[in-house]
């Protein structure tokens, strides 16, 4: 299965375009943002757990990265409320479930070969740093070999100068409305900009909160073996 797996192409998916598909497990459905592979795949998805739904115990051979968007996600290691960022490295195992239901962003098989850090960050209790422009605040989540993940908070009417992303950029708008010269993206919008793309982002009166990952397109990641040439 190949869904938005040509990483040389820009992709924009707004929440009105979401189409959740049932997973093999009852009570769990997925909106596939990009995917290369079958049930085992290099994949980025928004996953919804109905109350009481869960998976049996399993191992993530290619690693798993999670951001909890709403509700509480759980496994035998703990409970993770909305705003929690998790990294389960290659070879890790767990039995995930959600007692009350939740929605999470999940990225599979997108770890570097030597990235073995287990990580749990409750962003609701973390310290933000000043950004590179007035009106921006940044919460770094993870960095490894030039691949960086962060939350970025945009105050209303903030502008950031035009810039280039040599290693591409992925954005999920969590709150507000994010804009650039190519369009306007309400909360829930997912944007993937290819290598060496450029834009000049800004916000209006709503401001915005975004999850952003840069540097990962063209990086040497475990899941690259699933990608076939277009």
pLDDT in tens, 98-147: 999 999 999 999 999 999 999 999 999 999 999 999 999 999 999 999 99
The model's pTM: 0.96
Beta strands in 15-63 (DSSP E): 21-22, 28-37, 41-49, 58-60
Element (H, E) at 71: strand 64-75
Specify whether domain 10-122+219-226 bears CATH 2.60.120.10: yes
CATH architecture of the region 126-214: Sandwich (2.60)
Convert the pLDDT of each residue in 206-225 to its tens digit. Answer: 999 999 999 999 999 999 99
Q: How confident is the model at residue 229 (pLDDT cuts 50, 70, 90)?
A: low
Per-residue pLDDT band at 162 (split at 50, 70, 90): very high
Q: Which residues contact 130 (CB under 8 A, 6 or more apart)?
A: 136, 137, 138
Reference 198, options 162, 159, 146, 149; nearest CA is 162
Q: What is the pLDDT, as a whole number, of residue 50? A: 98
pLDDT at 180 over 50: yes
In sequence order, the 6+-apart residues with CB closer than 8 A to the CB of 110 are: 42, 44, 62, 63, 65, 216, 221, 222, 223
Whole-number mean pLDDT of the chain?
96
Q: What is the pLDDT of residue 230?
A: 43
What is the structure's pLDDT at 166? 97
pLDDT > 70 in the chain, percent: 99
Same fold, 10-122+219-226 and 126-214: yes
State residue 228's pLDDT score: 73
Domain extents in the chain: 10-122+219-226, 126-214
């Amino acid at each position: 299965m190949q869904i938005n797996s040509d990483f040389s192409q820009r992709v924009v998916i707004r929440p009105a375009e979401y189409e959740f598909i049932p997973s093999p497990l009852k009570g769990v459905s997925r909106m596939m943002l990009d995917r290369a592979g079958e049930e085992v795949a290099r994949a980025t998805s928004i996953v919804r757990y109905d109350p009481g739904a869960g998976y049996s115990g399993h191992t993530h051979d290619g690693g798993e990265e999670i951001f909890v968007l709403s509700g509480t996600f759980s496994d035998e290691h703990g409970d993770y409320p909305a705003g929690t960022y998790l990294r389960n490295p290659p070879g890790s195992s767990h039995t995930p479930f959600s007692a009350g239901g939740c929605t999470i962003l999940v990225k599979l098989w997108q770890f570097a070969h030597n990235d073995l850090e287990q990580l749990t960050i409750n962003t609701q209790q973390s310290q933000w740093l000043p950004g590179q422009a007035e009106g921006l605040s940044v919460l770094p989540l993870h960095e490894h070999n030039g691949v960086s993940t962060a939350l970025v908070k945009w105050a209303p009417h903030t502008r950031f100068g035009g810039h280039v992303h040599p290693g591409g950029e992925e954005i999920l708008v969590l709150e507000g409305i994010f804009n650039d010269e190519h369009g306007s993206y309400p909360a829930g919008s997912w944007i993937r900009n290819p290598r060496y793309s450029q834009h000049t982002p800004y916000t209006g009166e709503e401001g915005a909160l975004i999850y952003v990952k840069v540097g990962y397109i063209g990086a040497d990641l475990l899941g690259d073996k699933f990608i076939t040439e277009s």
